[in-house]
Amino acid sequence: MSQQRVALVGLGSMGGGMARVLVNAGFAVHGYDVDPQREAEFAAVSGAAADPAALADVSAVILVVVNARQVEEVLFADNRFGPGGIVGCLSPGAAVVNCATVPPAFAREMAGRIGPDRYIDAPVSGGTARAASGDLAVLASGSPAAFERGGAVLEAMAGTVYRLGAEAGAGSAMKAVNQLLAGVHIAAAAEAITFGMAQGLDPGQIISVIGDCAGNSWMLQNRGPHIRDGDYAPLSAVEIFVKDLGLVDDIARDARFSAPLTAAALAQFLAASGSGLGAEHDAAVAKVYARNAGLTLPGDTE
C-alpha cells in the first residue's frame, strides 16, 4: 500500500506541530507557509517538497491558518497555488479539512462552495504542546462522505475527534464556545492573581491553592505560571484572543445574544494590544491589570 499524500497549509505554532505528527504517523506531508524558512525547515523534516504541483495528488488538504479571510484567500484566490487557489488544484475527490477558527456561518458557506461531501469543519483545541504530541481535541462536523475522505488524517493528528454533527458549522460553533470560555478564563486568571497580589498574596501560592478549590480552571493552571514567572514568550499571543473573542463577540451580536463577560474580557485584551503587548503571550493581559492597580509583576524590571 502506497503512502498517503496530504497537504497542510500554515506551519505556525499549531500547524507546525500537527504537520510533524502526521509525518511521524506515516503520511507524506507537503507543508506550506507564508514564511519560506518555515517551509524549508519542514520540507527537510517531511522529505516532501512545498511544491504547488503536488496538490493534484493529495487526498486531503488541512488548513491551519489564522482566520476566515486567510482560509478564503488560500482556497479560492489567485495565488501561488494557481488561478482559483488550492481548490483549483485539488483532485475532485480530495477532502478539505479546515482547522482554522472561523464563524459557523462561514464554515457552512465553505461547505456549500466546496461541496459538503468534501469539507470538514474541524477547529482544534489544546494548545501547542498537545498539537506537537498529537493529542489535540478536534471539534469536527461534516457529512459522513466528508469523514470517509478526510477522517483518517484527522484521527492521525488528534487525541480525540469529536463528531458534532453531519453539517459544517457545529464544529466552529463549539470552537467559539471554547474560545469564549478560554478567553474569559485567561482574563479572569489575570484579574484574580493581580487582585490577590494587591491583597498581599503570592502569585504562586494562589495558583497552587486555587488548584484545589472551586475557582480552578484549565487556564489558571496553564497561564497562571506565566504570570508567576514573568514569562511572556508568545506561545499564544494576545492578538489571538483579540481575534477569537472578537469572533465570539461578532457571532453574539449577529445572533442578538448578550455576552457581557465576553465583552469585558475582550476589552482587557484590546487594552493589552493597544498598549503595545499584542505580540506577547496572552498572559500579558495581567500587565493591564497590574498597570491599572500600580502593582509590580514578577519579572517586571521597571
Which span (5-13, 29-37, 149-157, 159-167) binds a copy of itself, by CB under 8 A? 159-167
- Chain positions 245 to 274 lying near a copy of itself, rule: CB under 8 A, are 248, 251-252, 255-265, 267-268
What is the nearest approach in angstroms of a copy of itself to the Cβ of residue 265? 6
Question: Binding of a copy of itself at residue 218 (CB under 8 A)?
Answer: yes
Question: Binding of a copy of itself at residue 43 (CB under 8 A)?
Answer: no
Give whichever of 53 and 129 is closer to a copy of itself, judged by the CB atom: 129
- Phi, psi (degrees; rounded to nearest 5) at 125: -140, 150
- Chain positions 118 to 157 lying near a copy of itself, rule: CB under 8 A, are 125-127, 137, 139
Question: Binding of a copy of itself at residue 67 (CB under 8 A)?
Answer: no
What is the nearest approach in angstroms of a copy of itself to the Cβ of residue 243? 15
Residues, the chain, total? 302
Question: Binding of a copy of itself at residue 235 (CB under 8 A)?
Answer: no
191, 289 Cβ separation under 8 angstroms: yes
At residue 60, the 3 state secondary structure works out as strand
| Interface residue with a copy of itself, options 198, 231, 253, 279 (CB under 8 A) | 198
Strand order, beta sheet including 119-121: 28-32, 5-9, 60-63, 95-98, 119-121
Give whichever of 90 and 164 is closer to a copy of itself, judged by the CB atom: 164
* Measured distance CA(128)–CA(73) in Å, rounded: 25
Cell numbers for 61, please give them.
Answer: 488538504
At residue 119, the 3 state secondary structure works out as strand
What is the nearest approach in angstroms of a copy of itself to the Cβ of residue 117? 21
Cell numbers for 48, please give them.
Answer: 516532501
DSSP lists the bridge partners of residue 121 as 98, 141
Cell numbers for 88, please give them.
Answer: 483549483
Question: Binding of a copy of itself at residue 58 (CB under 8 A)?
Answer: no
One-letter identity of residue 139: L
Which span (45-53, 72-80, 146-154, 160-168) binds a copy of itself, by CB under 8 A? 160-168
Own/partner long-range contacts of 296-300 (Cβ < 8 Å, ≥24 apart): 297/194, 297/197, 297/227, 297/230, 298/203, 298/227, 298/228, 298/229, 298/230, 299/229, 299/230, 299/231, 299/232, 300/230
Give whichever of 14 and 87 is closer to a copy of itself, judged by the CB atom: 14
Question: Binding of a copy of itself at residue 195 (CB under 8 A)?
Answer: yes
Rounded to the nearest angstrom, the gap between the alpha carbon of residue 216 and the centroid of all alpha carbons in its chain is 23
| Interface residue with a copy of itself, options 28, 68, 220, 297 (CB under 8 A) | 220
* Measured distance CA(113)–CA(27) in Å, rounded: 27
Catalytic residue status for 287: no
> Which of the following is catalytic: 118, 175, 185, 226?
175
Catalytically annotated residues: 175
Residue ranges binding a copy of itself (CB under 8 A): 104, 125-127, 137, 139, 159-160, 162, 164, 169-170, 173-174, 176-182, 184-185, 187-189, 191-196, 198-201, 205-206, 209-210, 212-220, 222, 248, 251-252, 255-265, 267-268, 289, 292-294
